[in-house]
Structure 1
Amino acid sequence: MLPDKYREVHRYLPLVMGVLFATTYELMTRFYKKMLQDKLAPAVGLRSAQIEVPQVPEWQSPYYWAAFGLQGEWN
């Protein structure tokens, strides 16, 4: 049985491989801004953040932004 704090989790964003903290911070900041302020759906917010992060020259490699995938409820 799961602890109470995990029972209401409908979706989560797992990290598939290790990435730099600075890149993770930047991607997550953009992702949550898009979801909470711009009112985008989680999948759309993540994809939008993943499109923006490679625009920073030193983070163009997929190593920095492709390790994230939304899992759980799709809506």
Structure 2
Amino acid sequence: MSMTNKAKDRGSNGKLLRKYRKKSKRNWDSTPSWYANMFMNRPKRYQNRMICHLIVKGVDPDTFVMPVASNKPHMYYW
């Protein structure tokens, strides 16, 4: 059940009242999610996918080094 979807929480035009439209505070100490997805997660998934395709084709799996699951140390955006 939504707490801000009541008639008393809306103005005469139907939009949420101003007290419910707070913007979240930005955490400047972390890497943005779009950056982590584009430059950390996608390349690792691509490498894993290519290695899996080569293994299915018959290349010896012992010749490959799989990417490590840990993202640390991070390459930070800032």
TM over 0.5: no
Compare CA radii of gyration and give the structure with the larger one.
2
> TM-score under structure 1 normalisation?
0.31
Taking CA–CA contacts closer than 8 Å with sequence separation of 6 or more, which of the two structures ends up with the larger relative contact order? Answer: 1
Is the strand fraction higher in 1 or 2? 1
Is the helix fraction higher in 1 or 2? 1
